[in-house]
Amino acid sequence: MTHRIAVIAGDGAGPEVVAEARRAVDALGLDLSWHDLPWGTAHYHEHGTMMPADALDTVRGFDAVLLGAVGDPSVPDHVTLW
């Protein structure tokens, strides 16, 4: 059975750390499929939100979520963490 993993790489060092985490997990040979979700600061600057309104419904369709570091000086912390 393939497990579907949503990936929100995050900001700053998040994408680099998540990429290495994926490599480490892939080395285990588990039956996983990775699904990148392009949410975070770049999404905020383009759309005015960190993620789309249906984000929670979207991630509920996955078996797990790999979330990288979040936060960027260009977005207030209360916006990023909400």
Q: What is the pLDDT along the chain (82 residues), one digit of tens a residue?
A: 999 999 999 999 999 999 999 999 999 999 999 999 999 999 999 999 999 999 999 999 999 999 999 889 999 988 888 7
11-to-4, 34, 46, 50, 82 alpha-carbon distances in Å: 22, 18, 15, 11, 15
Residues with Cβ within 8 Å of 79's Cβ and at least 6 positions away in sequence, in order, are 44, 50
CA 56 to chain CA mean position, Å: 12
The SS3 of residue 15 is helix
Flag whether the pTM goes above 0.85: yes
Distance of alpha carbon 74 from alpha carbon 60, whole angstroms? 29
First-residue to last-residue Cα distance in the chain: 34
